[in-house]
Structure 1
Amino acid sequence: MKYNKTKFPNIFSYETKRGIRYRIRRGYFSDGVKKEIDESGFKTLNEVKVRLAEIEKLIDKEDLGYFTKKNLTCNEYYQEYSLKKVKTQVWSADTKRSNDANWKNHLSPTFGNVPLAKLDRRTYELMISEKLKEKARTSVKAYHNTFMNMLNDAVIDGLLERNRLKRIHIGESAIEPKKKYFSFDHYQRWMLAAEKNLPSYDFTFVYLSVFGLRRGEILGIRKNAVHENIGFKTRIEIKDSRTTQQPLGKGTTKTGKSRWITLDTRGTLLIDKAIKEASEIKKDFNEILHQDDFLYLNPRTGKPYDVGQLNRLFDQINRITDLHAYPHLLRHYFTSQAVVAGVPKEQAAAFLGHTTMYMTEKYTHIEDEIADDVINLIEKRLDYKNKKA
C-alpha cells in the first residue's frame, strides 16, 4: 500500500476501497532507544489531527505506557492482570483458579495470541455464539465476565483507550439450564431418605446444607465456631471455608466476612452429637478434639474429610431417591422458603452471606442480631416430617 505525505508532519494519506484514510507515524525516544507510534484507519484529517495532538501531549509527559504495551497479546496481559489481582488480594487462590480455567480453556484458544489493540468485536460475538451451542448460559457468562474484567482493567491502566467488546449480548443456550427448583415434596422425600440411610454423623453435615450454607462453609466449621444459645437452639459462627485449593481452610469465608446462623431444634441436637462423635474419632487416634479442629472428620484417618465428601453423600441419596440434589440446591431451597415464610429480604440476605455491595452496606450492622429471627420464621418449612408445611 502506498502512503503519501500530507502538509502536516507525521500524517500520511492512503487509498482504500472506501475512500481516503489517514495514518500517523511519530518517532520518539524512550530510555535512549528510538521507537515509533504507528496508527492508521482515520477517516478525516480533523480526526487524525486530534489524535496526533493527544499523542504529542503523552510524549511530552513521558506517559507512554499505552504505546509501549498496547501490542501485548491477550495471553501476556492476562498473566500480568491475574498476578496483580492476587498480589493486591482482590482475588483469592480459588478465584484465580476459576478465572485461569475460564481463560485457558475457553478464551485463550481464540484470543490468546491476539494483541489487545486488535481485538475484533465480530470475532468475539461469533465465539460467544459457538460457546452457547455447547455450554450453559451461566457458564458462557462466566467466561465473558473473565474477559470483560480483564479488558476493563486494561482501560483503567491506560493500555486500551476503550473496551470495544462491551455490551455484547449473551443469548440463550442450547443447553438446558440446571434446575434450581426443589419442591417441598421432593425436599421431604430426599431428606427422609438421607436421615434413614446415612449415619447420624454424616447426616448432620448434609442437614446443615438446609440452612443456606455453602459447601466449603459446612466443611470449614470448627469446634470453636459452635455456641450454645439461649432457648436451646445452637448458633454457629460461619468464619472459615475449605476448598479444593485450600483444604485446610482459607481463614475466611467467600465474602471475606464472618456471619452467624442459628440452627433449628433438630440441627441443635445433631451438631451436639456430631461434636461428641468427632471427639471419639480423635480418641481412636490418641488425640483430643481441640477448639480449632474441624468437626467433620474421616473416622479412618482422624483427619478432616476431603472437600468432595459432601457431594458423595448427596450422590448416594440421589441414587436412592432418583432425585438430583446437591449442596447449593439446598441453599436455593432455603432462600425460596425464607421468601414464602415472609422473612424480610434484608435479614435473609444477611443470613445467607450475600455479596453485592448494596447488601453488604445495608446489612453490616444487623447480621449477628437477626439470625434467631430468621430461623424462627422458617423452621416449620425446614421440617421434612411436617406434612403441613
Structure 2
Amino acid sequence: MAKITYTKTKKESVYSYETGAGKKLYRVRFKKLMINGKYKQITKNSFKTIAEAVAYRDKASKEADKALTGNSDITVGEYYKQYRERKIKANEWSADTQRGTQYYFDYLVLPHYAKTKIKALNRAEYQTYINYLLYDREDPLRPGKTKPLCNATVKVFNKVFQAFVKSAIADELIDHNRLIKIAINKDEPRVKRDLTMDELERALTDLKQHSTTMSFIMCYLPILGMRRGEVIGLRYGDITPSGPGLLAKVHRARTTSKPDGTNVKTESSYRTIYIDGEPAKQLKIAVKEFLRIKKMHKAIPHQKDFIFISERTGKPYHPNTMTVMYNRCGKRIGVWPLHPHMMRHTFATQSAMASIDSELVSQYMGHKNLRMTNAYKEPTLEGKARVASVMSKQFEAVNRTVENLGVNEV
C-alpha cells in the first residue's frame, strides 16, 4: 500500500490527502490535555469536505475540554496545566506574562495548592495563607528562618491567582469567587518611588561621569516619562525633526524576554511624543552616535535598527544594561533603590506640581487611564509641545547641569 502524504490546510489541525483512487479527503489530528496531565492524540480521517473536518475538530475539542473542566474534583495543579496551555495557544499572554505567571505558580501557588480541589478553595484558608506570606513565610533557602514577602509582591500573587479563579468560574468549575475581600495591608516603610530634584541632578551627573556618550543618553531619556523598554526600543526611523524639537514614535519595546522588540505595553502606549530642549539635543547626539558606530562596524543603518547600540559590539545594549547602570549609580551616590522606572514616577510627580492637564500627561506617558473618556485619543501636536515645554522648565536646573558637564556635544 502506497504511503499517504498529509498536507496542511489553512485550517488549524486539518490536513488534506488523496486516496489510492485519487480522491481528495480530509483528516483531523491534534493533541489535547487530559485530566491525568497527559496529552491524548485525537485523529480521524475520511472527511469529504473541509467544513466537515472543521466541524468535527471543534466538536472533539469541546468534548475534551468538557471532560477536563467538567470534573468537579479537578485540583488546582491539574487545572493550571490546561489554563496555561489555553492562554499561550490563544496568544493572550506575552512572553513576560508567561514567565511571571509561571514564577508565581511555581513558588507560591502550587507548593501550597497543587493538590487542593478547586471547589474546596475558601476565603478563610486563603486569607490565612496570605497572612503567612506577609508575616511568617519560611525562607526556602534557609529552613527554620523566615523571609516574609512585601505587600507589593503578595498583591501581584493575589492578582495572578484571582485571574486563575475567574477562569475556573468561566469554565463552570465553581459558581462564584470565594476568595473576595482579601486584606493585604501589612505596615511597612514607604517604598521610594520618585526622586527629588537634588537626587535627580546627582544621579545624572554621576551617570554622565561613568558612562559612554550613548549609554548616558540611554539612561537620561527616561526623564521624558518613558518606560525603560520604550527608550531602548527607539529605532532610527522613529525620530523625525519637528520645528526646534523632535517627534519620536513610541511603537516598540525591548524586554529581557523579547530583546529583538515587541509591542508596547498597552494600546494607549502607542504614541508619538514631542521632545524639545536638552532631551532633544541629547537624542540628536544619540542618532549621530548611532550612525558613527554603524559606520565604524561597516554596517548599513536601517530604519528599523535600534538606536541605542554598543560602540564595542555594534549591537543593541542588553535590556538590563540600563537597570544595572542605575543600580551602580545608586550605590555610588547613596540613593537606594535607584532604577529607571523612578524617572517615570518623577516625571509624573513633577507634571502634577506644574499643574499640567492630567489627560495630556497621561497621553504623553502612554498611561492607560480608564476614567478618561479619551484615553486612546492622541493629543494634538500643540498639546504634546505644551507638555514638553512645561516639563523642560520643570527640569531646567537638572538639564542645565547635564548641559554644563560638557561631555556630549552635537
Pairwise TM-score range, normalised by the shorter structure? 0.7 to 0.9
- 1:71 aligns to what? 73
8 Å Cα contact 1:347-1:367 kept in structure 2: yes
Tell me the TM-score normalised to structure 2 length.
0.74
Which residue number in structure 2 is paired with residue 151 of structure 1? 165
Match of 2:248 in 1: 236
In structure 1, the partner of 2:156 is: 142
Please give the alpha-carbon distance, in whole angstroms, between the structure 1 residues aligned to 2:308 and 2:132. 43
Name 1:282's counterpart in structure 2: 294
What does 1:54-93 align with in structure 2 at a 5 Å threshold?
68-93=70-95
Q: Does 1:190 align with 2:190?
A: no
Deviation at 1:199, TM superposition (A): 2.5
Task: Provide the rounded CA distance (Å) in 2 between the counterparts of 1:88 and 1:64.
Answer: 18
Could you say what secondary structure the match of 2:70 adopts?
Answer: helix
- Is contact 1:342–1:377 with CA below 8 Å preserved after alignment? no
SS of residue in 2 equivalent to 1:237: strand
3-state SS of the aligned residue for 2:178?
coil
Find the partner of 1:333 among 346, 351, 361: 346
The offset of 1:146, in angstroms, is: 0.5
User: CA, structure 1 residues 202+67, in 2 after alignment: closer, same or farther (shift >3 Å)?
Assistant: closer
Summarize deviations over 1:44-99 as a string: whole Å, max 9, x none.
xxxxxxxxxxxxxxxxxx99779733222112222222232233333211112111
Cα distance in 2 between the residues matched to 1:64 and 1:310: 48
* Aligned residue runs from structure 1 range 184-223, under 5 A: 184-223=197-236
CA contact (8 A) 2:222 2:343 kept: yes
Is residue 376 of structure 2 the alignment partner of residue 376 of structure 1? no
Partner of 1:255: 266
Question: Are 1:165 and 2:179 matched, yes or no?
Answer: yes
Which residue does the alignment assign to 2:131? 129
Partner Cα separation in structure 2 for residue 223 and residue 91 of structure 1: 29
CA distance 1:366–1:386, shift in 2 (3 Å)? same
**Which whole-Å CA distance do the structure 1 matches of 2:83 and 2:70 have between them?**
16
Counterpart among 327, 343, 351 of residue 315 in structure 1:
327
Give 2:343's aligned amino acid. Answer: L
Structure 1 residue 150, shift from structure 2 partner: 0.8
Count of residues in Structure 1 that have an aligned counterpart in Structure 2? 322
Q: CA 1:246–1:385 in structure 2 vs 1: closer, same or farther (change >3 Å)? A: closer
Letter in 2 for 1:255: T
Correspondence for 1:59: none
Change over 3 Å in CA distance of 1:176–1:130 after alignment to 2: farther
Is the CA contact 2:76–2:118 (under 8 Å) kept in the aligned structure 1?
Answer: yes
Distance 1:237 1:385, change over 3 A: closer
- What percent of counterpart residues are identical? 26
- More off after superposition, 190-199 vs 127-136: 190-199
Q: For 2:368, which of 349, 355, 359 is the aligned residue?
A: 355
Residue 116 in structure 1 maps to residue 118 in structure 2: yes
Output the CA distance in 2 between the equivalents of 1:262 and 1:204: 17
Structure 1: segments with no counterpart, 5+ residues: 1-61
Query: Equivalent residue of 1:362, what SS?
Result: coil
AA aligned to 1:105 is: Y
Contact 2:194 2:343 in 1 (8 A): no
CA deviation string 1:90-109 (max 9, x = no partner): 32111121111111111111
**1:326-384 deviation per Cα after TM superposition (whole angstroms, max 9, x unaligned):** 1011100000001011111111111111124334x523223454321211121111230
In the superposition, the TM-score normalised over structure 1's length comes to 0.78
Partner of 2:315 in structure 1? 303
Contact 2:294–2:301 (Cα < 8 Å) also in 1: yes
- What is the Cα deviation at residue 385 of structure 1? 4.9
Relative to structure 1, the CA distance from residue 179 to residue 246 in structure 2 (aligned partners, 3 Å threshold; closer, same or farther) is same
Deviates more, 1:325-334 or 1:127-136: 127-136
Q: Deviation per CA, 1:298-337: give whole Å up to 9, x if none.
A: 2222111111110122123223311132101110000000
Q: 1:192 to 1:308 in 2, by over 3 A?
A: same
The CA deviation at 1:177 is 4.6
Equivalence for 1:344: 357
Match of 2:97 in 1: 95
Structure (1 or 2) with the larger CA radius of gyration: 1
Compute the displacement of 1:205 (Å).
0.9
Aligned-partner SS, 2:219: helix
Matching residue of 1:176: 189
Amino acid at match of 1:224: G
Is this contact kept in 1: 2:69–2:172, CA < 8 A? no
Q: Which runs of 5+ in 2 are unaligned?
A: 1-62, 136-147, 402-410
Residues in 2 aligned to 1:92 and 1:344: alpha-carbon distance in whole angstroms: 32
